[in-house]
Structure 1
Amino acid sequence: MKTTAMFDQLPIDRDAAAVRRRVEALEHLLERTFTLPGINRQFGLDFLIGLVPVVGDAAAALMGTWLVWEARNLGMSKFQIARMMGNVGFDALIGLVPLVGDTADFFFRSNTRNLRIIRRHLDKHHPGTVTVAA
């Protein structure tokens, strides 16, 4: 799926199906937009902007926090929200360490982990939003 096509028709509704589409699109943008040739490892804006010291990590954390905000609006439990904030916080803190943080950002995908938590919630509480991966 082309990235631009993914964002062309994103819904702004608050229903569970619209939220699922938005969080999946953001996770794709942050974690899987580009592929590193040779090793076929995907990466996204989270890794790229994380290369900019402090400001990049703060911006990536803000974008990751938006996923948590969407989860909160879905009525997810405080435990799930805390776990998601822990993922974002760990990613932000490790990102502050030069080189080590950038390497960790390449492998620790907090947004993908958070998307998995959101998908489990949606699959259980809003089964009509389940999509089949092609």
Structure 2
Amino acid sequence: MATGAADNVSSALEEFEGDLPSTVDEAALERMRVSARILDEGMRVPGTNFRFGLDPIVGILPGVGDSAASIVSLYIVAESARMGVSQSTLLRMLANVAVDTIGGSVPIIGVLFDAFWKSNKWNVMLALEDLADGGQAEREPKTVSID
């Protein structure tokens, strides 16, 4: 997923609003959105459309920074699991967090990596997409034709 408008997650929430089940915890979605925004897109480089968050800033602290950011990232995954996001989507979300943690832990280059790799924003988008389609991609029975 590419970076784009100032708050893609908020616009996605509006886009999926009618498709989300009524049982979805809207307060949890808002907490997830705020967490993703703070970590991935909380600040803008003046004169540009490039946004970054606290993830690359706390990543400057060796070991501790990326660990702290990963814990917040795992909160988004945990909330998604609690809301019933499919297992395959949760695995994709965990893979995003793992890439973010490993890539961000590389000295010096990791800070730049964290500024561009928006795993939290992507994970909220994945959760919204899965909730909107009801996890049908994983839950629908597969038919196999033996000819």
Provide the TM-score with structure 1 as the length reference.
Answer: 0.77
**Percent of counterpart pairs with the same letter?**
32
Amino acid in structure 2 at the alignment position of 1:106 = A
Q: Compute the displacement of 1:32 (Å).
A: 1.3
Task: Answer yes or no: is the 8 Å Cα contact 1:23–1:67 preserved in 2.
Answer: yes
- What are structure 1's unaligned runs of at least 5 residues? 1-13, 126-134
Q: Distance in 2 between matches of 1:16 and 1:108?
A: 27
8 Å contact kept, 1:30–1:46: yes
Q: Moved runs in structure 1, 4+ residues, more than 6 A? A: none
Instruction: Give 1:38's aligned amino acid.
Output: G
In structure 2, the gaps of 5 or more residues are 1-22, 135-147
Match of 1:54 among 45, 63, 67: 63
| 1: CA distance, partners of 2:28 / 2:133 | 15
- 1:40-61 deviation digits (Å, cap 9, x = unpaired): 3111111211111110000011
Matches within 5 A, 1:44-123: 44-123=53-132
CA distance, structure 1, for counterparts of residue 57 and residue 64 of structure 2: 12
Cα distance change of structure 1 residues 69 and 58 upon mapping to structure 2, 3 Å threshold: same
8 Å CA contact 1:31–1:112 kept in 2: the answer is yes
- SS of 2:133's equivalent in the other structure is helix
* Deviation of the 1:15 alpha carbon: 4.5
> Going by fraction, where is helix more abundant, 1 or 2?
1
1:19-34 → structure 2 map (5 Å cutoff): 19-34=28-43
In structure 2, C-alpha distance between the alignment counterparts of 1:79 and 1:122, rounded to whole Å = 13
Residue pair 1:27, 1:111 contacting (<8 A) in 2 also: yes
Superposition TM-score, scaled by structure 2 size: 0.71
Q: Between Structure 1 and Structure 2, how many residues are aligned?
A: 113
* Partner deviation per Cα, 1:15-52 (whole Å, 9 max, x = no partner): 52122111111111111111112333111111211111
